[in-house]
Amino acid sequence: MDPTPSPKDKHDLEVDESVVDSSLFEGELFDENDADKTYLAKSKLVAGAIQEMGFGRYQIGLFFVAGFGWLSDNLWPVATGLILARLNEVDGVHAPPGKAPYLTLAQNLGLLIGALFWSLSSDIIGRRWAFNLTFLITGIWSTVAGASPNFAALGVFNAFWSFGVGGNLPVDSAIFLEALPKSHQWLLTVMSGWWAIGQVIANLVSWGLIANYSCSTDVCHKADNKGWRYFLFAMGGFTLLMFIARFAFRVFESPRYYLGRGDDARAIETLEKIAKINKTVCPITIKDLHDIDLKYGESDDQKKNKLLQETLHKYDFSHIKACFGSRKLAISSGLVIFTWGIIGLAFPLYNAFLPYYLETRGNANQPLSVHETYRNSLIVSVLGIPGALVAGLLVELRIGRKGTLFLSLILTGIFLFGSTTAKTSNSNLAWNCMFSFVSNIMYGVLYAYTPEVFFSRIRGTAVGLAASFNRVLGVFAPIIAIYANLQTSAPIFVSGALFIFAGFLTIFFPLEPRGKASY
């Protein structure tokens, strides 16, 4: 097949007066007030090229290996909650009285630092390094944690593995979105199915290991309580297998990352590699990008100077400032980041202590058995998978991303309120299943909407800021648990109210990305 684009293809994508004037950005998410025209024009051209090349083998493979990031992002926070109730060894790992939530605190601190570090680095040194290293760090330290000699050591190792987990979503969402054709951006919402699968895997393995290899008496010895250690070994090994799988499938650096650095040649080279895997041709050439430079008066010397500036100023705060570079971006960034923070406080109040809630709310106030507790946690997690599929359908309807996010947040809060009325373990389980379903719709939309409403040059940083604020407020959840009475419904009421408040915040989001390419 002749790799040279046909005259028709070239006509569709060529750069002329009608493409590069101010009308270029009409009806789009971003305009010249948000980023420079040269970058936006090139990014739009690249988006058109990816759309024309279509959804192929590369994107299918990326759906799986990037999906591991969503899986890990939920698996490990859930894992902490699953082992928490089993840390009661008289001669090994045991939480001092009232100090069990400190394990969740260590986790959230690691997630916070990881989200900040990996997101900023992904916009500076590229996505690929973070894409692979996060899994290596998580796999190693979680496996080591299985051999923890005491509670303090387990907390330190938890913070270390969470440092890796914290970088998954800011990086993986950027890499996946920037390789998707506009027609398939809805798949970013469906990726939350992996998030639900992570919870299912954690609960399934814990049911088999923790439930069968834990102490059956109040006086617990290390030799009789190896289930949680086996669980960490298994999950750590599984994470390392996913790390290996990411190497087996070669992930290319994002062409839009190269555009942001002014490296047009590498952007085209990456597009050509993707086209080769998809058995098609790249419809644009380096000349098309150079034509945009000429149209906007950017010379080769200016491009070289831009690359030099990128090198000399890698670690300044320009990426953060750009997230608030225009009035529209400032409002959007502020509301999105604040919403992430509210959810970051609400979700851990419920989810981090879910096994404890289920175990202490049995029939006639009789605690559930260990088997029943982990069985119920598994049932709740399975209901999240169809939620992700429903989210992918809703975001492409007229209701769009914002409407779906609003409804799912409101329903999440309502179902949490409903769970406080449960009088039996089965009714409590039913309410939690409904919560799991709608909350996975909510997370699917939130995790897709956020990278879509930021252009590529600042995408990793912006998502990282949102994730970091999410983790900052998440740190307060275990602190609240330390001083609150978990045997009351108060934490659930607070969590439900926060979800509903976040839902009303989405009404004021200025951007709706449905039907629009994200640059």
Model confidence pLDDT, tens digit, residues 360-405: 555 534 556 777 777 887 888 888 889 888 998 898 888 888 999 9
* pLDDT band for position 30 (cuts 50, 70, 90): low
Counts of helices then strands in the chain (DSSP H, E): 25, 0
DSSP string, 169-199: HHHHHHHHHTTS-GGGTTHHHHTHHHHHHHH
Q: Would you state the pLDDT for residue 302?
A: 52
pLDDT above 70: residue 19: no
| Mutual angle of helices 264-277 and 57-84, in 10-degree steps | 90
- 445 assigned to some structural domain: yes
**pLDDT tens across 4-17, in order?**
444 444 444 444 44
pLDDT value at 341 more than 90: yes
Q: Are 479 and 330 in contact (CB under 8 A)?
A: no
Element (H, E) at 234: helix 227-248
Q: Is residue 139 part of a domain?
A: yes
Query: How much is the pLDDT for 271?
Result: 94
pLDDT band at 25, cuts 50/70/90?
very low
pLDDT score, position 369: 73
**What is the rounded average pLDDT for all residues in the chain?**
81
CATH number of the domain where residue 441 is located:
1.20.1250.20
The pLDDT of residue 95 is above 90: no
pLDDT reported for residue 484: 62
The dihedral over CA atoms of 127, 141, 356, 230, expressed in degrees to the nearest 10, equals: 120
Tell me the pLDDT band of 155, cut-offs 50, 70 and 90.
very high
458-500 pLDDT per residue, tens:
777 888 888 888 888 887 877 776 676 556 666 778 888 999 9
What's the number of domains the chain is made of?
A: 1
In single-letter form, the type of residue at position 256 comes to: R
Assess if residue 415 is contained within a domain. yes
Q: Which residue has the higher pLDDT, 145 or 354?
A: 145
Can you read off the two tokens belonging to residue 194? 């992996």
Question: Which of the pair, 487 or 200, is modelled with greater confidence?
Answer: 200
- Whether the Cβ atoms of residue 110 and residue 166 lie closer than 8 Å to each other: yes
Q: Is residue 503 part of a domain?
A: yes
Mean pLDDT, residues 431-459 taken together: 86
Share above pLDDT 70 across residues of the chain, in percent, rounded to a whole number = 82
The answer to the question of residue 200 being in a domain is yes
* d(C-alpha 277, C-alpha 348), whole Å: 41
- Selected residue with higher pLDDT from 90 and 467: 467
Model pLDDT for residues 274-315, shown as the tens digit of each residue: 999 999 999 999 999 888 888 876 555 555 445 444 444 444
pLDDT band at 355 (very low <50, low <70, confident <90, very high): low
The pair of three-digit structure tokens given for residue 32, joined into one six-digit string: 């010249």
Residue 278 belongs to some domain of the structure: no
Domain of residue 382: give its range: 57-252+322-508
